[in-house]
Amino acid sequence: MINMKNKSLIIFDWDGTLMDSVGLIVDAMRYAAEKHGLTVTDEATKSIIGIALVDAFPILFPNDSDKYDELLATYSEYYVKHCDNDKLFDGIKELIQDLHAQGKTLAIATGKKRKGLQRVLPNSGIEAFFITTKTADETAGKPNPLMLEQILVETGTRIEDAVFIGDSIHDIRMANNIGMDSIAVSYGCEKADVLAKEQPTKLVTTINELKQQLI
């Protein structure tokens, strides 16, 4: 039985794990698609949360590659305009503070671009607690485990002393691809039964359950 409380390095995904931004991502993608004469379901958008947009568009709009640049610009414009509505999930700030007080090393590995993360992280109230943050445009997009590899090297941590926490299948696949323990959270973009099929080390449904695993 793996005890997550013994982990010294806790790596978090951002969207849908720390920040309650899934609704905004869905709205932005729907808006961008409709503006350019395309359609996308909310479920389809949720399925690509966690990976870089440049990798997501071919999945959502496989026959419309000529519109990817326009889609990206429209999506980004909508997201930036409304991102002030983003907020941390209730209980996340306290969880991060408690982990930091315990001496845990904290990091972020996100499918966002650096520009996108820097738009929301400084105002989140938790930026100072993370020793490092990795974004898809600076490393490689999920499920490529390069972000996790770099964090391990940068922090001098053994893989068995680390855990990755995320809300999407791409998060769990990234952890599995490097052999890192993971905690899947089903309060974000994906349902528990879908996440369970990816065989995370642990699966929780609430932030309180996540806290019980870690503290």
The pLDDT, as a whole number, for residue 22 is 87
Model confidence pLDDT, tens digit, residues 20-57: 988 989 999 999 999 999 999 999 999 988 888 889 99
Q: Distance of alpha carbon 44 from its chain centroid, rounded?
A: 16
Region at 91 (left for phi over 0; alpha for psi -120 to 50; beta for the rest): left
Token pair recorded at residue 139: 């490393």
User: Does 85 score more than 80 pLDDT?
Assistant: no
The structure's pTM equals 0.88
Architecture of domain 4-20+87-214 in this structure:
3-Layer(aba) Sandwich (3.40)
Q: What is the average pLDDT score of the chain?
A: 94
Q: Where are the alpha helices (DSSP H) in 66-206?
A: 68-82, 92-101, 114-120, 146-155, 169-178, 192-196
Sign of the CA dihedral 175, 50, 117, 73?
positive
CATH match for 22-85 among 1.10.150.240, 3.30.930.10, 2.40.40.20, 3.40.80.10: 1.10.150.240
Contact by Cβ (8 Å): 140, 147 = yes
The pLDDT, as a whole number, for residue 168 is 95
Task: List the single range of 18-22, 89-93, 156-160, 191-195 with lowest mean pLDDT.
Answer: 18-22
Model confidence pLDDT, tens digit, residues 159-190: 999 999 999 999 999 999 999 999 999 999 89
